[in-house]
Structure 1
Amino acid sequence: MTSSFQNNDMEINMKKSFPLFYKLLISFIVCGIIPLIIISILIYGLSVRFINDMIYEQTRLNLTNMHQELNVILKDYEDIMITLQSDETIMNALSNDLTKNNENKIYEKIYDALKNRTGKPPLYILNTTGDVIFSTNPLPHIYETGIKNNWGIFREVTQGNDGTTTIYPQKINYEEGKSSLLSMGRKILDSKGNPIGYVIIDVYRDTIINIFRPHINGVPIHIVVLDDYDYTVLDIQNPNMEGKFQNATYLNHAKDIEFKGFFSELERDSYLTISYKDTYSKTTTIANVHSNIFHQLNGIVKTLLIIGCFISLLICCLISIVLAEHISNPMKQLIYIMSKVEKGDFSAYTSFNRNDEIGALGTYFNQMVLQLKKYLDRLMEEQNKLRVTEIKMLQAQINPHFLYNTLDVIKWSAKLNKTEEVTSIVTNLAKILRNSIDCEEEYVSVRKSIEFINSYLAIQKIKYNDKFDVNIDIDPSILELKTLRLILQPFIENAIIHGLTYIDHTGLITIIGEKDGDDIIFYIIDNGVGMTEDTIKRISKSTNDNHIGIYNVDKRIKLYYGDKYGVHIESIEEKGTKVTIKIPYLTGGDNQYD
């Protein structure tokens, strides 16, 4: 009973507890997610830093390349000016020795110098008073005024060192719709080193744009070129700002970006400002990259990471399910097999076919069940031997007194020449003795059990001179069913000896056998002296010689079939006793209730 309660408690606790499968599944998923989250954060941080650094470095590289290409052109223009500056024909013309022939030669030299040059820039050669002019374009008004007042590029060239090129940022619009942004100038000196004129080249805006544009195509970048005084030399997106003071806060070229954190991102609607100072052209180019490009690229990285994390999580879940089932399913199988073993099915065994600890557990469990089955088989064999011994003891209890009394009856019947009685007694005694010899069998049919009772009663009626009658009513449907040996005789003997011997009227023993559902009920009823309740309790639990048979029958029935079966005695003093024997409905010899 205690074991049953414990098993029930264990089943309830297992139902209430969290299944092992889900514990393993959650553990595996958590173990997979934590590294995934850490790696994703690290990858995102590195990606953000890489993207920011890449754009920063690429933009700076583009600025460097733009100015390198621009300086190549500017130095090419400088070489033109150096060639013209040292030409004797030009020097003589500027020294008031100008002839028509010289003028043609000078223009030929100018056009030869500009031949195959990028952009064919406007070129001007002037004396110090502006009277002698050689030019490829009409002289801009700003030069006419500048040379007379010695300001603008002429002042810068005059104040500059001899033999150097002055680059002067200024915007000049031409009649054909073009404009220039930079002017380059050199002094022309006579043989004594005195300035006698200037050679000027203007750099077209389109020339600079054509250099810059290939480096910014497809990139949301704002390029602004400033002079030393923060006046706008070039503004690709806002040409109207060219020549004006630039006061936009986001163009503060001293504000180079600094990435202070591992996960730093530019705020939205902000700019990454990178400046490049060109010492040759004495200009500063500022590149302003809008933060949208950072957020777009970072958004792509986020999307890829989210997709990657989702796919990784899905794979992690699938692997976790497989691993959890790989571990938990054998446990479920083992629990199921244990429940079968608990119910008495020792043919159940595990078949994990694994070389790990779970496989070893299954192997040891199978060995344990096999050993337990061997032990129980040995125990059942010993119990069977014990049952046979009990039957023999019960039979031995019957035989001595009964045999002595029966032989005594035969003797007196023979003396009285009661041949028929002697024949009947001997015949029935032989049947009883044959039944005693075959006591190795635990089960007999109801028919054989009744035949034994008839033989026993035939002898007892002769012994007691027909002092009692017998009425046997057995349902024919149960005659071939199996029952335990000697479960009726002890109660019939008790009814005769203790119930009918001392009455002064004819006794009656009624034996009834019938089917009741899945059970068989035997009733043994007598009209003898009866018993008190105390006497019933005493003989039901007594092991003394007078009542050991009654006690043994009830004990054997319960041992073979369970506590729901057994013997029940009812009795009323001076009226009689009713014994009820209840056993299961068995069709074969095997004990179905072991």
Structure 2
Amino acid sequence: MNLIRQSFKRQLFAILMITTVILVICGGILTIQGFQARLTADYEKRDIEQSRIINTRLINDLEQAENAVQELSENEVIINAISRKRNNSLSIYSELYAISKDIRDFAAVDIYQGSKCIFSTATSSLSKELPLNYSVLREAAEKEDSIIFSLDPTYSSENGADLLIAKEIAGEDNPGFVIVRIEQEEIESRLKDSINAKDGFMLTDRFFRPYCLIGTAKDSKALALIRSNLLNKIRYNSNITGNVYINEVGETGLLSVYITPPVLGESAAKVGYQILIFEAIISIFICLLVASRLSAYFSKPINILSSGMRTFRKGDFDTKIELNREDEFEQLAVGFNKMTSQLKQTINERVKAERTINETRIQMMQAQLNPHFLYNTLDTIKWVAKANGVPEVATMSASLAGILRTSISEKQFCKLSKELELIQNYCEIQKIRFDDKFDITIDVPQDVMDAIIPKLIMQPIVENAIIHGMNETENGHIYVAAVRDKNEEKDLLKISIQDDGVGISDEMMKALNNDDVETLKGHLGLNNVNTIIRLYYGKEYGVMAVRPTEGGTVMIITLPYSEKEPEQ
């Protein structure tokens, strides 16, 4: 099982083979069962129709017999011969033969006086006697207005008996009866041409005592099973392999039982399932071939994709997957190729950015003129100036030392409050240099003082404002402000540095706002500040220049607001 799970091709192969075999087997079983059901339904219709034909023939014969019995029981000649003992044999036989003409070919008509037969249409002797107080005569005497159907108790067995149809004629001390006798051989003779060779038929009374057994029912095994089932209160056809149809024969109280063999015998069903097994075996071999080809066809693009991904994981970013298809696998290949190209481009951009950051840092360090040496020297100058009473030199030395201390720190970020302190130190130096030709105002609320920003991003801008903006001004002013601009989408820190000097040139403002690197190369400070901000935070951040209507320049630094250092 684990071996199959480890390969998509093997999984696909197993699924295709199992599905096909199941479909073949289930389809075969359903076909056989459907064929059996359809055949059974068709044969059942035929059997029911055949049973109806047999029943109709029986009913016709019995109705003719009933009519003869009824007519004889009402005939005055017969009645007088029984009740008044007017024994005119010629007239009696004349009436007897005239009335029984329609049934004499299959039945014999007897006139009984008590238990003795006195007149008969049968060719045999009149020696047949029936007990007066037993069976058909007693039942006819009890139901004097009814026609009784019963078997002949003197000639009955497990295989059949004569059918007697009787009615009382006169109910005196020595009553008379009209009896129509149909022998079981006659019943079989009249019905056997309606019964197929493999079918069976039984004519019984309501207690399943037989009058005749025909065809496959002749051994009486089926009749015994039906009796046993009914006595045990189970379905009458249980344990019988054939189909059993039981019908009432009109209103006579007799039952016709028609038995047919199964539509498909056990041997036929067995052959059907053997064929199905053979087909399943053949199908398995065909499935092995087809499933192998299909699994190879469908798994080929998967293997190509998997191979390309393994090559990509080893570091080959130039990996490309080529599939000559027009389906989802081609879309996967195109998506993979786009992903590798984009990833390679991203890595190249990341490497280029890292290289740019390193170059910028080197340039800034080069611009710092060996700050360690300058810091130690300036500290010495500060103490010499204090000792000799020159406070300006001491102030300049202390302020420059503070700037250098920040620049040589290994930390790349600092709080906004620290950056403002550095700006103040820088302006103290420039005030002495420019003989207090300008002043600076810092208007920053306390709640943004803890914002984290890259260090030394404000000093180059203030330096540009002093050197370039205040060059022709005698009483200049620099205004530094910072606000937190928070909305639903972004949380920003905006720092503005404004001067009232000569103002920035159009070319410079356009280059800065459009991030024109080539134009900014000559302005090391602004270029470095803009580059560092965008490399750390993205191209939507950086420095923007604005020229107010009243003159001067406003430089706006936009950063994401955070009190934690960003991930480098």
State the TM-score, normalized to the length of structure 2: 0.44
